[in-house]
A and B are shown apart, each in its own frame.
Chain A
Amino acid sequence: MKEIKRVLVTGAGVMGHGIALVCAGSGIVTSLLDTDSKYLEKALSKINKFLDGSVERGKLSQRDAEETLSRISTTTDIEEVAGKADLVIEAIIEDKEAKEKLFRDLNGICGPSVIFASNTSQISITELARSSGRPDRFIGMHWFNPPAIMKLIEIPRGMQTSDETVEIIETLAKRLGKTPMVCKDSPGFVVNRILNVWYNEAMRLVDEGAANVEEIDRAIRDGGGFRMGPMQLRDLVGLDTALLISESLFERLGSEKFRPCQCLRDRVAAGHFGRKTGKGFYEYSAE
Chain B
Amino acid sequence: MSRWLYLGTGLESSPILEASRKADRAHFLGGPPAFKDLESRDLVIEAFTEENQKEKALRAVAQCGEWQGTVASVIEKRSATYWAVKSGVGERFVGFHIAPGAGKTGAVELLRGEVTAKEAVDCAKTAFEELGLLVTVCRDQAGGILPRVLAGMINEAAFMAQSGIAPVNKIDEMMRLAANFPMGPFEWADQIGLDRVLSLLETLSWEFGPIYQPCPMIRRKVEAGKLGKKTGQGFYDYTGGDAS
Contacts and interface: CB of A to CB of B under 8 A. Distances in A.
User: A and B from one assembly?
Assistant: yes
Contacts of B150: 224
Given A184-B164, A194-B153, A210-B139, A216 B145 contact: yes
B165 A222 contact: no
Contact of A208 (B141, B149, B181, B183): B141
Contact of A154 (B152, B178, B183): B178
A218 B149 CA distance: 13
A222 B105 contact: yes
Interface string B91-110: 00000000101111101010
A219 B182 contact: no
Contacts of A190: 160, 165-166, 170-171, 174-175
Interface in A219-242: 219-220, 222-227, 230
A191 interface: yes
Contact of B149 (A183, A189, A220, A257): A220
Interface stretch (A43-51, A129-137, A198-206): A198-206
A209 to B, nearest CB: 7
B136 A218 contact: yes
B25 to A, nearest CB: 24
B145 A195 contact: no
Contact of A224 (B102, B139, B171): B102
A183 B101 CA distance: 28
Most buried by B among A154, A201, A224, A226: A224
B109 to A, nearest CB: 6
Nearest to A156: B165
B156 interface: yes
A224 B153 contact: no
B102 A205 contact: no
B166 A179 contact: no
A219 B174 contact: no
B146 A223 contact: yes
Contacts of A205: 145, 148-149
B137 interface: yes
A194 B105 contact: no
B243 interface: no
B101 A224 contact: yes
B174 A154 contact: yes
Contact of B107 (A151, A208, A223, A256): A223
A152 interface: yes
A186 to B, nearest CB: 5
A251 interface: no
B136 A211 contact: yes
A54 to B, nearest CB: 21
A200 to B, nearest CB: 8
Given A210-B139, A223-B107, A223-B109, 8 more contacts: A181-B166, A183-B166, A184-B164, A216-B145, A219-B109, A219-B136, A222-B104, A226-B181
Q: Which 8 A-B pairs have the closest CB atoms?
A: A225-B102, A223-B107, A152-B177, A219-B136, A183-B166, A225-B182, A201-B149, A223-B101
21 contacts: A181-B174, A183-B174, A186-B165, A190-B171, A191-B178, A194-B153, A194-B160, A194-B171, A194-B175, A198-B149, A201-B152, A210-B138, A211-B145, A215-B137, A222-B103, A223-B101, A224-B107, A225-B103, A225-B182, A256-B209, A256-B210
